[in-house]
Chain A
Amino acid sequence: MEANIAVPSDEKNAWNGGGKRPFGASYGKMMMWFFIVSDAITFSGFLAAYGLTRFKFIDSWPIADEVFTHIPFFHGNYPMIYVAFMTFVLIASSVTMVLAVDAGHQMNKKKVTIYMFLTIIGGLIFVGSQAWEWDTFIKGSYGAVKTTDGKILQFVTGDEINNEGEMKFHQIALSDFVVGERTNEREQHIRQNGLWFEDEATISNYSIDQVINAYNSNPNILVKTELINADKKEKIILSREEGAAQLAKTKLVVEGANLEVNEYGNTIFADFFFFITGFHGFHVFSGIIINIIIFFNVILGTYERRGNYEMVEKVGLYWHFVDLVWVFVFTFFYLV
């Protein structure tokens, strides 16, 4: 009976469950580990769902190198570079965190303060970078059109012919070949055709007719479909005639990305991007907040008085978990 009766206690150490240490681990540390296991399984659920969806659309999924190509402050095509930078920042912040934990074991308050500060800075740089990635993703780089079949068509033009005699293509923006201001009238909502609580549809920079006319008048522009050539692992580029036939079915000019349509390909691609990186970014953000709280506690000397820096260790576990998740997200979103 003793085991399951709650006995009121006057002990001050009620927070740690009475001081028992199964496996030699304190209550807080063990619970943090179990929480991490549950959160890891949550994230693996998200990534497994991403895997299922990607397998379902394995022949038409956007290629990450063609989507994530920008760095801040620079123009040009730099696939994967910024994501690699973000990965380094997070790994470095993990290193400063483990150095803080190590300093805590030596009861070196000054070192713990410095390293925790650096960890927080690293976390803020990561979250800021992720926010910038979202902004670039939503704003869009090139622009595309969506057909009545629900397919995205992008535009490419040819480079020089490479050694094997193949023509290499690179994607171009709508603004590169479509000229002039938008010519179609925009639909304005007035009393007769609008509802006060609904906005008008987003207006693209160019109208459908403008895009098709520009394509027809420029023989160097070709259409790139979503479909992937399985042997070369490249997107299939249509001939001028096939491209014109597909363009005739255009329903919408798409610039950027939202939850319903995006210029990179399948709608669900953007949805998963926002959801998974958003969830991860939220975890990083909450980790930063917690780190800041513990940072102030370190400065105030709470852990010196307590006699151990175990709280820094527990918070460090959470931070490393966040890094671990990012390593997997990075692999399955950007590399594979």
Chain B
Amino acid sequence: MAHAHESNLKRIWIVFGILSVVTIVEVYLGIIKPDLLNFPVKPFESGFFGTIGNVLLSPVIFTSPLNFIFIVLTLVKAYYITWAFMHMEGEKKWFRRAAVWTATFLICYLVTLLLVEGDYLYSTLAPLVKW
């Protein structure tokens, strides 16, 4: 724990500033929901490069750029909270990775599976619903 104690204070306030700005941007976009960003992204038509493009852009297709921005900003906030506030930067490299890599891998796996299944449920059940 032998690091320069005084310098931390400034960094804490800088990170607070970053988190506040990101939150304000998120809330602003969430209220305004600009039409420029709020449209579903259609997949490419068929073809070799189209398919590759679809695979690479799969997190973004059928969601809107607005939602994608929200998720990216949320990950930015999560990074700063973990790195600076939870002081992950002070821990040893492999201890960091033991926590972060485990959680990231498991979360990505679960979320991918469940969202794919949810989409399947929609495509199967939605045509049967009486509106």
Which residues of A line the B interface, CB within 8 A?
22-25, 30, 33-34, 36-37, 40-41, 44-45, 47-49, 51-59, 65, 79-81, 84, 87-88, 91-92, 94-95, 97-99, 101-102, 105-106, 149, 151, 225, 227, 230-231, 233, 308, 313, 316-317, 320-321, 323-324, 327-328, 331, 334-336
**Complex Cα distance A231/B35, Å?**
10
CB of B106 to closest CB in A, whole Å: 6
Question: A52 near B99 (CB under 8 angstroms)?
Answer: no
Question: 7 tightest A-B contacts by CB?
Answer: A55-B118, A52-B118, A23-B95, A84-B27, A56-B121, A52-B114, A331-B74
**Complex Cα distance A36/B118, Å?**
27
Interface residues on B, range: 35 or more
Pick from B23, B92, B125, B126: contact of A88, CB under 8 Å: B23
Pick from B27, B33, B81: contact of A323, CB under 8 Å: B81
**Complex Cα distance A36/B95, Å?**
14
With A51-B114, A56-B125, A336-B67 as known contacts, state yes or no: A102 contacts B5, CB within 8 Å: yes
With A52-B121, A79-B31 as known contacts, state yes or no: A34 contacts B99, CB within 8 Å: yes
Question: B121 near A105 (CB under 8 angstroms)?
Answer: no
B12: Cβ under 8 A from any A Cβ: yes
CB of A162 to closest CB in B, whole Å: 12
Question: A324 near B78 (CB under 8 angstroms)?
Answer: yes
Question: B74 near A59 (CB under 8 angstroms)?
Answer: no
**Complex Cα distance A313/B8, Å?**
14
Question: A33 near B23 (CB under 8 angstroms)?
Answer: no
CB neighbours (8 Å) of B5 from chain A are 102, 105-106
Chain B window 40-75, contacts with chain A (Cβ cutoff 8 Å), 1 for yes, 0 for no: 100000000000000000000000100100110110
CB of B29 to closest CB in A, whole Å: 8
Question: A230 near B20 (CB under 8 angstroms)?
Answer: no
B36: Cβ under 8 A from any A Cβ: no
CB neighbours (8 Å) of B115 from chain A are 48, 51-52, 55
Which residues of B line the A interface, CB within 8 A?
1, 5, 8-9, 12-13, 16, 19-20, 23-24, 26-27, 29-31, 33, 38-40, 64, 67, 70-71, 73-74, 77-78, 81-82, 84-87, 91-92, 94-95, 99, 102-103, 106-107, 110-111, 114-115, 117-119, 121-122, 125-126, 130-131
List, sorted by A's number, 27 A–B pairs whose CB atoms are closer than 8 Å: A23-B92, A25-B91, A33-B95, A33-B99, A37-B102, A37-B103, A40-B107, A41-B103, A41-B107, A41-B110, A47-B111, A51-B114, A53-B118, A54-B118, A81-B31, A87-B23, A95-B16, A101-B87, A102-B8, A105-B5, A233-B33, A233-B64, A317-B86, A320-B85, A323-B85, A335-B70, A336-B67
Question: B99 near A36 (CB under 8 angstroms)?
Answer: yes
CB neighbours (8 Å) of B39 from chain A are 231
**Complex Cα distance A319/B30, Å?**
26
CB neighbours (8 Å) of A44 from chain B are 103, 106-107, 110-111
Consensus secondary structure, chain A interface: helix
Question: B38 near A48 (CB under 8 angstroms)?
Answer: no
Chain B, residue nearest A227 (CB): B131
With A94-B85, A317-B86 as known contacts, state yes or no: A102 contacts B9, CB within 8 Å: yes
**Given A91-B16, A101-B87, A323-B85, 8 more contacts at CB 8 Å?**
A33-B99, A41-B110, A48-B110, A49-B114, A105-B1, A233-B33, A327-B74, A335-B67
**Complex Cα distance A335/B5, Å?**
38
With A49-B114, A91-B20, A320-B86 as known contacts, state yes or no: A30 contacts B107, CB within 8 Å: no
Pick from B24, B27, B70, B117: contact of A336, CB under 8 Å: B70
CB neighbours (8 Å) of B92 from chain A are 23-25
CB neighbours (8 Å) of B29 from chain A are 335
CB neighbours (8 Å) of B99 from chain A are 33-34, 36-37
CB neighbours (8 Å) of A56 from chain B are 118, 121-122, 125
Question: A335 near B91 (CB under 8 angstroms)?
Answer: no
CB neighbours (8 Å) of A41 from chain B are 103, 106-107, 110
